[in-house]
């Protein structure tokens, strides 16, 4: 069994880690269509590591709002050669999938972490598979597939409700035989959340950290940043900032997430976030003196 703490440099720095993203998809909102050949995707992953990524998350299925599912064979075809190529180069690879069979094959190909945005809800075989494999797992807060997730944004209190629903997923994982030391939690920014609800969750990150489990924060390039940074254009148009122009705001969130005790941030452009987590670490060392 690999505890989360031993995934990257066991015993080394306790700073917030940086997870670089490689989406091997034609249609992700953030970087879709850019790394569709396995060679390009592996090269991209290696360049993220050169920029300071501690681990690389490889996904083959877009989860942008409204996306339809692809079939399992297509997901395997996209993901496996990239996982294999990066793992063979010594990269710590995480596989972003809701399917137990994709997770299983990716782990065989060298992945070390399963990142399931459905928190084990999309495929009932996922948690038993993770338990048997001994690999760590990200449980993200999730209420439904992308084609209907934005219809599922009713909360009494978004922070309380997300915390409770995440805790239920942690309990389900433990009941399936996953050790607590293997579990990472993620509030699931942008998944069944309105723009404002994402900000409310970010403002309460310390409460997620207080669950006592490592927390992953994945704000990178998401729509709520595009909305925040929108500006009024000619002719009274309201122009949402496009995804590739949201990286500075993403790095700002990395700083805040690291300061709130996040275990890792998941980002598309790594360099600024890699610097930010080191700034936060240095300040914390200074405060502890
Ligand atoms: N968001 C996306 C994909 N995978 N994984 C986790 N754990 N948390 C997230 O919030 C998350 C994720 C969607 O973003 P992308 O299409 O830009 O990768």
- Rounded Cα distance between 62 and 27, Å, is 6
Q: Which tens digits make up the pLDDT trace of 13-41?
A: 689 999 999 999 887 777 777 877 899 99
For the beta carbon of residue 34, count every other beta carbon within 10 angstroms.
Answer: 17
* Reported pTM: 0.96
Q: Among 57, 83, 69, 82, which residue's Cα sits nearest to residue 27?
A: 69
Question: Whose C-alpha lies nearest to ligand 1, atom 5?
Answer: 117
**What was the pLDDT predicted at 259?**
97
Are residues 91 and 55 in contact, defined by beta-carbon separation less than 8 angstroms?
yes
**pLDDT at position 10 over 70:** no
What's the 218 CA to ligand 1 centre distance in angstroms? 6
CA 188 to chain centre: 8
CA 73 to chain centre: 23
What's the 62 CA to ligand 1 centre distance in angstroms? 9
Q: Which tens digits make up the pLDDT trace of 174-219?
A: 999 999 999 999 999 999 999 999 999 999 999 999 899 999 999 9
Q: Which tens digits make up the pLDDT trace of 86-121?
A: 999 999 999 999 999 999 999 999 999 999 999 999
Kindly report the backbone phi and psi dihedral angles of residue 239, in degrees, each rounded to the nearest multiple of 5, phi listed first: -105, 110
- Rounded Cα distance between 55 and 168, Å, is 27
> Which residues, judged by CB distance below 6 Å to any ligand atom, belong to the binding site of ligand 1?
21, 23, 28-30, 62-64, 96, 115, 117, 138, 140, 186, 188-189, 216, 218, 221, 266
Determine whether 222 is an active site residue. yes
Are residues 35 and 44 in contact, defined by beta-carbon separation less than 8 angstroms?
yes
What's the 177 CA to ligand 1 centre distance in angstroms? 25
Hey, what's the torsion of the CAs at 253, 254, 257, 262, to 10 degrees?
150
Residue with structure tokens 């070390």? 112
Per-residue pLDDT band at 234 (split at 50, 70, 90): confident
Apex CA 97: angle with CA 147 and CA 246, to 5°? 70
Mode of pairing for the β-strands spanning 183-186 and 17-23: unpaired
Average the pLDDT over 246-271 and give the result. Answer: 98
């Amino acid at each position: 069994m690999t505890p989360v703490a031993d995934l990257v440099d066991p015993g080394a720095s306790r700073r917030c880690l940086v997870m670089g993203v490689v989406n091997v998809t034609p249609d992700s909102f953030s970087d879709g269509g850019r790394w569709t050949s396995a060679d390009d995707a592996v090269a991209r992953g290696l360049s993220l590591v050169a920029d300071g990524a501690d681990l690389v998350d490889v996904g083959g299925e877009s989860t942008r709002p409204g996306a339809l599912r692809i079939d399992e064979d297509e997901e395997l075809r996209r993901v496996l050669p990239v996982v294999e190529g990066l793992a063979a180069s010594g990269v710590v690879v995480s596989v972003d999938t809701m399917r137990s069979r994709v997770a299983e094959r990716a782990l065989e190909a060298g992945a070390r972490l399963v990142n399931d945005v459905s928190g084990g809800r999309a495929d009932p075989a996922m948690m038993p598979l993770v338990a048997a494999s001994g690999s760590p797992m990200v449980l993200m807060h999730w209420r439904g597939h992308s084609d209907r997730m934005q219809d599922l944004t009713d909360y009494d209190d978004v922070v309380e409700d997300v915390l409770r629903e995440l805790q239920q997923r942690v309990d389900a994982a433990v009941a399936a035989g996953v050790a607590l030391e293997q579990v990472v939690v993620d509030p699931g920014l942008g998944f069944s959340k309105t723009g404002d609800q994402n900000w409310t969750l970010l403002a309460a990150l310390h409460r997620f950290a207080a669950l006592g489990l490592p927390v992953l924060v994945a704000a990178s390039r998401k729509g709520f940043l595009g909305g925040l940074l929108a500006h009024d254009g000619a002719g009274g148009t309201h122009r949402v900032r496009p995804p590739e122009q949201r990286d500075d705001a993403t790095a700002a969130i990395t700083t805040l997430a690291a300061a709130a005790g996040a275990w890792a941030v998941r980002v598309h452009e790594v360099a600024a976030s890699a610097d930010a987590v080191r700034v936060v670490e240095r300040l914390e060392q200074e405060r502890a003196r």
